[in-house]
Structure 1
Amino acid sequence: MTNAPTPTAKLIGFGAPAEYGAHVFKVQIPPGRSGLVVLSEEFGLRAGVDGTPERIVRAQLDRSLWTPLADISRRDFNARLRATKSSPGTWKPQENVLDRMLGKELAILMWAAEPASSKELNTICEKWSALRPEERWWLYAMTSAEAGGVGDRNRGWRKALFYALSDGEGISTTAVKMPETETLERLSLFL
């Protein structure tokens, strides 16, 4: 996690800074097996600066589609939090707080899963987990610029995420990962 708070800083949820006014993502999970799971970006003290809103609802997902996403994202995020000696997080039926970079990654996963069937969810989760964090951040930047609101379903990059991550049943996603140095070299070509 680039730009993650130091392990000495007080963190809550999935690596979110506990201080007042932090820029974080929040996931509202309803109790039970029905309802909508809502992902929102909360801008904290940045709200109002240069027209920045206080909050943007990024995604809503039916609770029935959430379970596989919750499992794969929890494992991925917690492995990275442990690597920085931060406490792991858990998804609870309430408001859950995430570091803003992890929130961007979760948005990619939720956007891809919006129109998915249960069969496609497994492929989406596998292909999302094969992406490096930097790739997820880039996808978030591209998607949120054009179709990042809750009402932007089935538009542009948002629609493309579903097709890119749901296609390819039976494809081994372990072959997709590149060594870190090679990825960084390729990314530097675009900077």
Structure 2
Amino acid sequence: MNRESSVVEGFGFKPAESEHYFLVSVISPTGDVQISEHMSWNSEMWKGKIHAVKDESDERLRVTLPRVKWDLIADAVSAEFNRRLKEMGYKKGSWKGRGLTPVSRLFGKELVLLGWAIEDADPGRIPAAVANWLGLLPEERWWLYTMTNAATGQASRGRNTGWRAAVRFALCDNPITSSKAEQRVGLIANLDDKEKSIDQEKKKQGSLLDFN
């Protein structure tokens, strides 16, 4: 077997199979954590020549989290991903305290979804968001990411609007378990209604401001 074809970086990312991956960038021990999406593998990044997405308006940047919020989800996400990596026969991954950690395309979608749920949430609601996230099937997380990313996927421009806000409301409320399929279906079905109500409220507020 070609060694390069078997190399696994970070959490399940195999550059030889696909160059589409997500990147968790920890700039400093206390600074914000960036999660970005990349369509091509740049080996120079791992030689210290490229450190992270530097511009908040960069199209590749999906979410930025304060370090305190990242610390509240990092262990749970790592445990979930490593459980599945073990089932796949892959080596375990770990987050770097400072530096770059690549994440496979599918894992990255799931991670960003959780990041969107907590970016503007009260830290006290994060345990509920993690419980809800764990209660969803991976396929459900991928679908929710795709729906949200299509309209509000850029870190700063899509923040707190549409599906992005709806995901926060859904995942930060009543925890569900993987055994309660009807709760998962209900959570997903209600997202579209929440997204519509949020947009309607924003339009209403805009109209009132115009009137004033």
Letter in 1 for 2:81: F
Please list every run of at least 4 consecutive aligned residues from structure 1 whose deviation after the TM superposition is greater than 6 angstroms: none
**1:14 matched residue in structure 2:** 11
Q: Is the 8 A contact 1:14 1:89 kept in 2?
A: yes
Residue 155 (structure 1) aligned with residue 175 (structure 2): no
Residue 115 (structure 1) aligned with residue 123 (structure 2): no
CA distance in 1, matches of 2:92, 2:15: 14
Q: Is the 8 A contact 1:68 1:125 kept in 2?
A: no
Q: Secondary structure at the match of 1:16?
A: coil
Higher-helix-fraction structure:
2
Letter in 2 for 1:22: E
Q: CA deviation at 1:68?
A: 1.9
Letter in 2 for 1:43: M
Higher mean C-alpha displacement, 21-30 vs 88-97: 21-30
**Based on CA coordinates, which of the two structures has the bigger radius of gyration?**
2
**2:54 matched residue in structure 1:** none
CA distance in 2, matches of 1:165, 1:67: 18
Q: CA deviation at 1:119?
A: 1.1
Residue 144 (structure 1) aligned with residue 149 (structure 2): yes
CA distance in 2, matches of 1:17, 1:95: 15
Alignment of 1:70-149 (within 5 A): 70-92=74-96, 93-149=98-154
TM-score with structure 1 length normalisation? 0.78
Query: CA deviation digits over 1:122-169, x for unaligned, max 9?
Result: 00001101111000000011000000001111011100010000112x
**2:172 matched residue in structure 1:** 166
CA distance in 2, matches of 1:68, 1:153: 20
TM-score with structure 2 length normalisation? 0.71
**1:57 matched residue in structure 2:** 61
Q: Is the 8 A contact 1:132 1:177 kept in 2?
A: no
CA distance in 1, matches of 2:101, 2:90: 16
Q: Is the 8 A contact 2:137 2:178 kept in 1?
A: no
Higher mean C-alpha displacement, 10-19 vs 83-92: 10-19
Higher-strand-fraction structure:
1
Residue 43 (structure 1) aligned with residue 26 (structure 2): no
Letter in 1 for 2:13: A
| Percent of aligned positions that are identical | 35
CA distance in 2, matches of 1:13, 1:177: 31
- Unpaired runs of 5+ residues, structure 1, are 1-7, 46-53, 184-191
RMSD, aligned CA: 2.1
Residue correspondences, number: 161
- Unpaired runs of 5+ residues, structure 2, are 42-57, 186-212
